[in-house]
């Protein structure tokens, strides 16, 4: 892949860079870290080029949920693919129409999230999910699977004991253990199914995550692009088995994900941090679209999956 060759060259020279890659690994942008265009604003936990002088403004917005009947029919079609043995877990997504009163850059500065990116007023994402961290000859990934409204009584106990959510999480952890085994050694699950609280607009959501790590050789810098390429698309937003799940996604979703569910990140010459581009709002010719989704398994209930899809359409304001 072209982007892998370019990232490898930057890594070999220990030259810091910013990068973003779309879901299909066909479109990408790579810039030296000191030459990122002014229209690209990013924030990761350890790196940011955002201005400290930006004044946050009130944001007015409204959403029109996608057709419940259409999404539930797609969900049922995925379950039929599961019964046929073509997939076991598949991330099904859909676009939601949104009316917005502000610029996307304003949303970037208003939103509260660990990973944020605004790209030339074309799209903004405020992601809670890291893709991979490469640091001190170790690769770490943090799959996020399982979501519930935190206001529900005993929400944490419910999400951790839900058989569908448990099965979904186990499958994605197994997938990512396998993915990391392609690029590292001594892969292990360091933390399994821990719960984090995410501010989702006016409500709070609980997300269930795990931490998986592997050991890299000391020459990983000059192979950084190859490592990233082997891991794409991210397991948490595709499915397992990955190849057949991606084929089903292309057939059933009926729209182009583009950069949604792709990745972005920064390499500083010593380490690389990156995020999955979820919680994603895009400006199109037809207006603003917020793209979201969730994992479908044999135990999925279409109505609950639709509700989760809609819950994930939010702006995490301060």
Q: Copy the structure tokens of residue 317.
A: 């304001």
Structural domain spans, the chain: 2-141+215-311
Contact 281, 97 (CB under 8 A): no
CA 187 to chain CA centroid, nearest Å: 22
- Residue (of 294, 286, 283) closest to 124 by Cα position: 283
Say what the pLDDT of residue 201 is. 63
Say what the pLDDT of residue 312 is. 87
Say what the pLDDT of residue 56 is. 64
Classify burial at 9, counting beta carbons within 10 Å of its beta carbon; exposed 0-12, middle 13-18, buried 19 or more. Answer: middle
Task: Please provide the distance, in angstroms rounded to a whole number, between the alpha carbons at the two ends of the chain.
Answer: 39
Determine if the peptide bond prior to 233 is cis (ω within 30°): yes
Residue 122 has φ and ψ, to the nearest 5°, of: -90, -40
CA distance 230 to 43: 24
Say what the pLDDT of residue 154 is. 92
Instruction: Say which residues have a Cβ less than 8 Å from residue 128's Cβ, sequence separation at least 6.
Output: 113, 114, 115, 144, 196, 198, 207, 278, 279
How many helices (H) does the chain have, and how many strands (E)? Answer: 8, 17
Say what the pLDDT of residue 51 is. 87
Q: Copy the structure tokens of residue 244.
A: 């057949």
Say what the pLDDT of residue 200 is. 67
Q: Copy the structure tokens of residue 59.
A: 């944001």
- CATH topology for 2-141+215-311 is Anthranilate synthase (3.60.120)
Q: pLDDT tens digits, residue range 60-81?
A: 889 999 999 999 999 999 999 9
Q: Copy the structure tokens of residue 263.
A: 């990745």
Say what the pLDDT of residue 230 is. 97
Say what the pLDDT of residue 168 is. 85
Helix spans in the chain (H)? 2-12, 68-83, 104-110, 155-161, 163-181, 224-231, 242-252, 302-311
Determine if the peptide bond prior to 241 is cis (ω within 30°): yes
- Residue (of 3, 2, 39, 44) closest to 20 by Cα position: 3
Q: Which residue has the tokens 């779309």?
A: 22
CA distance 20 to 205: 27
Regions in the chain scoring below 50 on pLDDT:
318
CA distance 183 to 172: 17
Question: Quick check: helix, strand or coil at residue 297?
Answer: coil
Q: pLDDT tens digits, residue range 81-97?
A: 999 999 999 999 999 99
CA distance 20 to 42: 11
């Amino acid at each position: 892949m072209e982007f892998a060759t370019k990232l490898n060259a930057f890594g070999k020279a220990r030259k810091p860079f910013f990068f973003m890659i779309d879901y299909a690994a066909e479109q990408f942008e790579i810039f030296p870290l000191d030459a990122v265009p002014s229209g690209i604003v990013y924030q990761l936990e350890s790196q940011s080029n955002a201005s400290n002088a930006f004044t946050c403004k009130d944001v007015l917005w409204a959403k029109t949920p996608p057709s419940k009947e259409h999404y539930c029919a797609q969900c049922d079609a995925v379950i039929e693919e599961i019964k046929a043995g073509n997939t076991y877990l598949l991330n099904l997504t859909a676009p939601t129409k949104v009316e917005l009163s502000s610029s996307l850059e304003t949303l970037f500065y208003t939103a509260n999230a660990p990973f944020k990116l605004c790209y030339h007023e074309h799209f903004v994402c405020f992601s809670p999910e890291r893709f991979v961290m490469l640091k001190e000859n170790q690769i770490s990934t943090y799959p996020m699977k399982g979501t519930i409204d935190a206001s529900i009584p005993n929400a944490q106990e419910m999400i951790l004991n839900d058989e569908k959510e448990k099965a979904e999480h186990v499958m994605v952890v197994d997938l990512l253990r396998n993915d990391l085994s392609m690029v590292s050694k001594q892969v292990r699950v360091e933390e399994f199914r821990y719960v984090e609280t995410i501010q989702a607009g006016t409500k709070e959501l609980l997300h269930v995550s795990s931490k998986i790590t592997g050991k890299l050789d000391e020459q990983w810098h000059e192979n950084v692009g190859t490592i990233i390429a082997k891991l794409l698309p991210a397991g948490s937003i595709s499915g397992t088995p990955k190849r057949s799940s991606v084929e089903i996604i292309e057939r059933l979703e009926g729209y182009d994900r583009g950069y949604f569910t792709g990745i972005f990140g920064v390499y500083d010459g010593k380490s690389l941090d990156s995020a999955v581009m979820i919680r994603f709002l895009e400006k199109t010719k037809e207006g603003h679209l917020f793209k979201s989704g969730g994992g479908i398994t044999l135990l999925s209930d279409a109505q609950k999956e639709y509700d989760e899809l809609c819950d994930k359409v939010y702006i995490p304001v301060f």
